[in-house]
Amino acid sequence: MTIQEIENEIIEEFASLNELGGMEEKILYIIELGKGLLPLDEKFKTEQYLISGCQSRVWISAESKSDKVYFQADSDAIITKGIIALLIRVLSGQSPEDIINAPLQFIDAIGLKEHLSPTRSNGLVSMIKQMKLYALAIKTKNT
């Protein structure tokens, strides 16, 4: 699936949550996504993989396989873990070029950013920036 197709899928899922109860339902769903995130190998839970600018501690790693970028991540905060799970769902398994150019419109479309505290919102921006930097590094390495 393309990034846009995955984003559209997420937007539809969150639209149905609006009908069920709004933001509270969205937060519960994000928490469930976080619980479903695969555990991050302890070797990546170091300063090198820690995202600065986040209120909670977030670690992200990336690897290249068959010209695609695959992300793994973890956080010590369950909502943040759910947010990174959403980002992984959209960006993991995509080409570096597509990741770098992804506008990630689903974030505004589902109303996520507007319901985050300023520090969590900054953390979201930092996570996206780091994922795009990983993609850029992999693209540069592969050319």
The pLDDT score that the predictor gives to residue 33 is 94
**Full residue range of the structural domain in which residue 110 is found:** 3-142
**CA distance linking residue 73 with residue 75, whole number of Å:** 7
pLDDT in tens, 50-100: 998 777 899 999 999 999 999 999 999 898 999 999 999 999 999 999 999
Q: List the catalytic residues.
A: 54
> What are the tokens at 24?
């509270």
Phi, psi of 75 (to 5 degrees): -150, 155
Number of neighbouring beta carbons within 10 Å of residue 36: 11
* Domain count along the chain: 1
Can you give the pTM of this predicted structure? 0.92
Determine the pLDDT at residue 49. Answer: 94
Nearest Cα to Cα of residue 109 among 2, 3, 13, 1: 13
Confirm if 4 and 90 have CB atoms less than 8 A apart.
no
Decide: 36 and 85 in contact? Cβ < 8 Å.
yes
Q: What is the mean pLDDT of residues 130-142?
A: 93
Q: What is the CATH number of the domain that holds 129?
A: 3.90.1010.10
DSSP state of 67: T
Give the pLDDT confidence of 98-129 residue by residue, as tens digits: 999 999 999 989 888 777 777 778 888 999 99
pLDDT at 8 over 70: yes
What pLDDT, in 10s, does the model give residues 26-46? 889 999 999 999 889 999 999
Rounded CA-CA distance 10/13 in Å is 5
Q: Is the dihedral of CA 66, 49, 32, 98 positive or negative?
A: negative
- Can you tell me which residue has the tokens 């670690």? 59
